[in-house]
Amino acid sequence: MQTNRLDAQRLTHTYGEGNSAAPALADVSLTIGADGPEAVAIMGPSGSGKSTLLHVLAGIIAPADGRIVWRGRDLATMRDGERTRLRRSDFGFVFQSGQLLPELPAIENVALPLMLGGGSRSAAEAQAGTLLHRLGLGGMLARRPGELSGGQAQRVAIARALVGQPGIVFADEPTGALDRSTGDAVMSLLIGATLGHGASLVVVTHDPEVAAMCSRVVRLQDGRIVSDERAAGDGWPQTAPAGAERPAATTPLGMGVPVAQAALPQHPSYGAARAEQRVENPMTAHQGWIEASR
Ligand SMILES: Nc1ncnc2c1ncn2[C@@H]1O[C@H](COP(=O)(O)OP(=O)(O)OP(=O)(O)O)[C@@H](O)[C@H]1O
C-alpha cells in the first residue's frame, strides 16, 4: 500500500532575477505524513514564504532548487500532464474563498473533480451528495455559492477537496474570511474530515488558534524553517484556544473549540460534542469519519 508521505528536500525558491530577485524559500526540508495522517500548520510573518512553500509542496510552483517526493516519486521527474493529473487525483485544495464556480450548484461543484477525472455524472454526483450530507449540507445540494453563507461555502470547498480521496490536502488561510466561531467550526471539520479520509492536512495560517488545533506547527522566517513543533505528550498544544478544556488523559490529542451549536456538522462523530456545544477534538473525530466512510 502507498503511504501518503511527502518529502521536501532542501527547497529553495526566488522570484524574479537580478536586482528584482526576491528570495522566498531557503533550504527548506520537511516530511509530512511519515507516521500516518497529520495536520500541519505553516505559520510565520507576512512575506516569510508560507504560500510559496504551500505552492511548491503541491507542485504548483517548481522550486529553483531541491526536490519534492510524493509517495516515493520525485515531482520534477514527471511530465507536466502527469503532474497535473496527480494534483487532481492525489492532492486536495482549499483556499480562503472564491474557489467555487459561481454558476454551478453545490453538488456539481463537488462532483466536478471526479467528472474531470473521467467519472460519470451520476456516479460523481452520488459521491458528492454523500459527502455533502456528511458535512451537514444535505439540504443545500442545489444552492449556488452565492446562496450559501461563507461557512457553508467553505464546507462545500472542503467536500470538493476530499471527494477524489486525496492523500494530502493543502489549505491556504481557509478560515481567513470567516468570523471566529464559524472559522473554528470549519477548521475542526476540515481537520476531522481530512484525517478521517486518511489524508494529511497542510494549512497556511496567521491565526494561532487555527495552529493550536493542528498536531504540528512549522514556523517560517525569511523563507527558512525556524521551528517545527509537534504537540507533545498527550498532545495538548501550548497555544490552546482560550477557554478550551483540557481533555481526559485518554484523548491522544486534545482540543476543544467552543462553537455555536448551529454551526456543528451533521455527522455521527460529532454527536457527543453537539450535546456539549463543543466541537469534538478534530484529531480524534476522524475515527468517526473512518467508520462512516467504510
Ligand atoms: N509572484 C511573485 N512575484 C514576486 N515575488 C513574490 C511573488 N509571490 C511572492 N513573492 C515574494 O516572495 C516572498 C514570500 O511570499 P509569500 O507570499 O510566500 O509569503 P507569505 O508568508 O505567504 O505572506 P503572506 O502572509 O503575506 O501571505 C515575499 O517577499 C513576496 O513579496
CA–CA dist 14, 115 (Å, integer)? 36
CA–CA dist 187, 256 (Å, integer)? 12
CA–CA dist 206, 32 (Å, integer)? 20
At residue 248, the pLDDT reads: 31
- Per domain, the residue ranges of the chain are 35-59+85-238+284-293
- Closest C-alpha among 68, 75, 50 to residue 7: 68
At residue 257, the pLDDT reads: 28
Q: Which 8-state DSSP code applies to residue 104?
A: S
At residue 106, the pLDDT reads: 97
At residue 3, the pLDDT reads: 87
Beta strands in the chain (DSSP E): 6-15, 22-32, 39-43, 65-70, 73-74, 91-94, 168-172, 200-204, 216-221, 224-230, 257-258, 278-279
**Weakly modelled stretches of the chain, pLDDT under 50:** 233-280, 284-285, 287-294
Return the best residue to mutate from 11, 14, 15 for the ligand 1 pocket (most ligand atoms within 8 A of CB): 15
- For ligand 1, atom 6, the nearest C-alpha belongs to 15
CA–CA dist 173, 193 (Å, integer)? 17
Whether 98 is in the pocket of ligand 1, judged by its Cβ within 6 Å, is no
Q: Are strands 22-32 and 91-94 parallel, antiparallel or unpaired?
A: unpaired
At residue 2, the pLDDT reads: 64
**Which residues does residue 43 pair with via DSSP β-bridges, in sequence order?**
219
At residue 16, the pLDDT reads: 86
At residue 232, the pLDDT reads: 58
Q: How far apart are the first and last CA of the chain?
A: 17
- For ligand 1, atom 14, the nearest C-alpha belongs to 49
Here the ipTM equals 0.98
CA–CA dist 198, 107 (Å, integer)? 23
Q: Give the position of cell 474563498.
A: 97
Q: Which atom in ligand 1 lies closest to the alpha carbon of residue 223?
A: 14
Q: Are strands 216-221 and 39-43 parallel, antiparallel or unpaired?
A: parallel
- For ligand 1, atom 26, the nearest C-alpha belongs to 46
Angle at which helices 150-162 and 106-116 cross, to 10°: 20
Task: Please give the grid coordinates belonging to residue 189.
Answer: 471539520
CA–CA dist 144, 164 (Å, integer)? 21
At residue 40, the pLDDT reads: 97
Return the best residue to mutate from 13, 14, 17, 50 for the ligand 1 pocket (most ligand atoms within 8 A of CB): 50
Q: Which atom in ligand 1 lies closest to the alpha carbon of residue 52?
A: 18
Q: How many CB atoms lie within 10 A of CB 235?
A: 17
Query: Ligand 1: distance of its center to the CA of 48 in Å?
Result: 7
Query: Ligand 1: distance of its center to the CA of 262 in Å?
Result: 37
Whether 227 is in the pocket of ligand 1, judged by its Cβ within 6 Å, is no
Q: What predicted TM-score, i.e. pTM, was given to this entire model?
A: 0.81
Whether 15 is in the pocket of ligand 1, judged by its Cβ within 6 Å, is yes
Class of domain 35-59+85-238+284-293: alpha beta
Whether 235 is in the pocket of ligand 1, judged by its Cβ within 6 Å, is no
Whether 16 is in the pocket of ligand 1, judged by its Cβ within 6 Å, is yes
